[in-house]
Chain A
């Protein structure tokens, strides 16, 4: 089967680059805008007496590639799609595919 794999740029969010990073064992630094980083809780630790120790800060951030649903593609619909697995599954793989 001839499997073409040319994606139009429009379809590709920067998050995809981070996705590809899943292959690597060395974690990939998330690209800007790929994580749902929300600085809702920042704390500072008092500087220690050591001159080179910088005050550490903490920020809420998933640091994992997150995906936002793309309304461009219709959501799974049991009336028209072939579906395996529970409706409440955490991960849905949707495939547009050709047998040939």
Chain B
């Protein structure tokens, strides 16, 4: 949350489960601390201390909660009164009733933008969701106009933080992919894009401003498979897709021939300079079970410049 101060809001709702002997008192303690402006501090303390208090009796737990209030520099007398006030008890029991009424089967139940979420709750996934939501604001509401001249020669210079990569684009064979790549480059879409997946000796992938590897430009277009363009040599540039008609902005460059990709991905360019730069990109692969966590910051595309002749 601290990484997205403007973009993320966290809402906490109590659901003290009926079968848990100390859940009501814990709820009351958080509410009592809340009356002194320290709800979140008590919330954090209670969760952090779970291992300590789970086995306690209710009386022991009450003492433990009062100790926490002391640690948080709360007015202890007021906390003690509020802990078991009618209002606190009422609030906690009502929360249980509300949860039961909604049919919530267990806790925690997480909603993201008001919809139930049950995916993984680790940082990488949560950050990825936030970055994808942010990307939606930048997505295009229409397909790019066809502006390229298929008879012309287009090259793209990818300025990266480790050097330049120059790509010859195949406007004649794959006009849709090249047109969209040029459109996006000119719109600055690729500026500051992370090389989010780099597997040395295999391929390097970029083109998603969210850096999650799941973002797209807001439109999708079909494959353009040309019989004489294949993934047959280092430096072939392919448009990534999530299916034959689901190409977007993500693209990849292969380090070695990859015939298994033939026919599945559009070959829309070839690296004509900077293969040595490609080799310098920071390896990064979230799908590798042995990948470090968090993943390395990674290399970036600073900008993409198009030339035509």
Residues of A near any B CB (own CB < 8 A): 1-8, 11-13, 15-16, 19-30, 37, 40-43, 45-46, 48, 50-54, 56-73, 75-76, 81-87, 89-100
Contact = CB atoms under 8 A, between A and B. Distances in A.
A93 B14 contact: no
B146 A12 contact: no
B137 to A, nearest CB: 8
Given A4-B106, A43-B146, A64-B216, A53 B111 contact: no
A15 to B, nearest CB: 7
Contacts of A65: 132
Give the size range of B's interface with the partner.
35 or more
B7 interface: yes
Nearest to B6: A86
A99 to B, nearest CB: 4
A61 B40 contact: no
Interface in B100-130: 102-120, 124-126, 128-130
* In the A-B complex, the 10 residue pairs with the closest CB atoms: A4-B106, A85-B9, A56-B176, A99-B26, A69-B114, A89-B9, A58-B143, A58-B221, A67-B115, A100-B20
Given A23-B125, A99-B47, A72 B218 contact: no
A37 B146 CA distance: 21
A14 to B, nearest CB: 12
A38 B34 CA distance: 46
A40 to B, nearest CB: 7
Interface of B: 1, 4-17, 20-23, 26-27, 30, 34, 39-40, 43, 46-47, 50, 54, 99, 102-120, 124-126, 128-130, 132-137, 139-144, 146, 150, 172-177, 179-180, 196-197, 212-216, 218-228, 240, 242-243, 245-246, 248, 250, 285-287
A29 B13 CA distance: 33
Contacts of A51: 227
Contact of B143 (A8, A28, A60, A85): A60
A56 B113 contact: no
